[in-house]
Structure formats: structure tokens, C-alpha cells
Chain A
């Protein structure tokens, strides 16, 4: 009898702990990961980022000089942002690979070589 009560107590304790863990982790999984990216002629900092497939992400892009943009043609993503303003690019990568984003607002002589590489891993 005692052992039955003990087992039930353990079981209850475990299930309570598990439910707490789930309730604590669920919002963290749903909350998109924010990645701050600084942008200026003719570079993104950081120039490479790594995210996981299926993980919601928000790229927070802030320009330090003129208007810029960021376009990933393969992922059908494009953000343009004016001088002095930020933009958020929210997405959930659904395929693995390396994707190169380009500036989508002409910004001068190095515009064509201004890239940000996105690594999407399993």
C-alpha cells in the first residue's frame, strides 16, 4: 500500500515537473529568434548567419548610412529600409542549404558585391 502511494506520488511529481517544463519551453519555441544585423556601404554585419530549418527567425536590419535592402530570391524574401530606419524580415526557413542575399536598393559602387550568407541547417 505504502509503495503504491509512493509510486503515485513519484508519478504525480514527474508529470507536474514535465508539464512545467513544457509550459516553460513552449513559448520559447514559438517566439522567433531575433538576429540583429547592422548594414552600411557595402556590408552586412554579421555577413553570415546560421539558423535551423523550421525555426522562426526575425532579422532586424538597421542601416547606418543610406537606404539599403536585403533580398533572398530563392526564399522569396525581400526587405527594403530607408535611411535612419530599421526593418524586420520574419520567416521560417523550410529548406536546408546556403543562401546568398543581396542588397535590393542601389546604394553605390559596391552595391553588387554586398551580400549576406544564410546557412540553414537541420
Chain B
């Protein structure tokens, strides 16, 4: 009986420790990266129907500014986002190779469906398909880090 109680206590401690928000190790990051790129994030072959014009990129910047900026910053590189590093996993810079190595179709899929486990929510229905595709174009043409200032909600 005592052994059972001890086992239960250890199990509870293990679960609670697992719930603690801490930065993932390098191994965990690499495993997750591989899993996302090759298994969980789909839609790899879909092409962006919008041409990469200045007008469409500007439209993407506007769509991105509606609410993506709350976590990704105005520049997509977390500038001015106070909790970006303390999230688990941390909010990635959209300029990083981890993100830029997704295909356009995968980026659209991530914005549509979100990514679990992470703080990335599903945005299908919140933004239209056209807005999401234009946001993908903006992600492919991000401005220099810090060049657009902090998100309005954190700079007021």
C-alpha cells in the first residue's frame, strides 16, 4: 500500500513537472522541428495563388497587423513582444530558417490550423483565405528587425 502511494506521488510530481513552462532542450527542439516539418504540418505542395507583387505584400502586411502582431511583432521577429521568450516553446522569429524552410502551403496550413503543442492558434475564419495567403507573402518579405517599431498594444 505504501509502495502504491509512493508511486502515485511520483507520477503526480512527474506530470506537474511536465506542465512547468520551461525552455525545451536542444534535442527536444530538433525532434519537434523534424516532426513538424515532415509529419504534422501538411499542405506541403500547395502553391500560393497570389503573385508576389508589392500590392499583395502590402495587403499581407495589413492582414498580419490585425492580430498576428500580438505574438510575432510588427516585423514578424518578435520585436516588442514582452512574453516571446518566456513562452514554451518560445515564439520563433518568422525570419528564422526553422520557419522560412516551410513551403508556402505549409505556412498557410499553420496559420489555418495552428500548431500544438505551442501557443500558435488556428486562424481559419478569423482571416480570409486571401488575407492568409497575402500574410504568407509578407512573411517571405519581412522588413529588417525592429524597423516597424513595437506592436501598438504594447507601445501605448
Residues in A lying within 8 Å of B, measured CB to CB? 73, 102-103, 106, 109-113
Contacts and interface: CB of A to CB of B under 8 A. Distances in A.
Interface residue range, chain B:
10 to 19
Interface of B: 63, 66-67, 123-132
Task: Tell me what chain A mostly uses at the interface: helix, strand, loop, or mixed.
Answer: mixed
A111 B126 contact: yes
Contact of B130 (A102, A109, A110): A102
A113 B125 contact: yes
B123 A112 contact: yes
Contacts of B127: 111-112
22 contacts: A102-B128, A102-B131, A106-B63, A106-B66, A106-B67, A109-B125, A110-B125, A110-B126, A111-B66, A111-B126, A111-B128, A112-B123, A112-B124, A112-B125, A112-B126, A112-B127, A112-B128, A112-B129, A112-B131, A112-B132, A113-B125, A113-B128
A34 to B, nearest CB: 27
B124 to A, nearest CB: 7
A110 B128 CA distance: 9
Contacts of A113: 125, 128
Most buried by B among A73, A109, A111: A111
A106 B131 CA distance: 10
B60 to A, nearest CB: 13
A36 to B, nearest CB: 24
Of all A-B residue pairs in the complex, the 5 with the closest CB atoms, nearest first, are: A106-B66, A112-B127, A112-B128, A113-B125, A102-B128
A102 B134 CA distance: 14
A83 B63 CA distance: 20
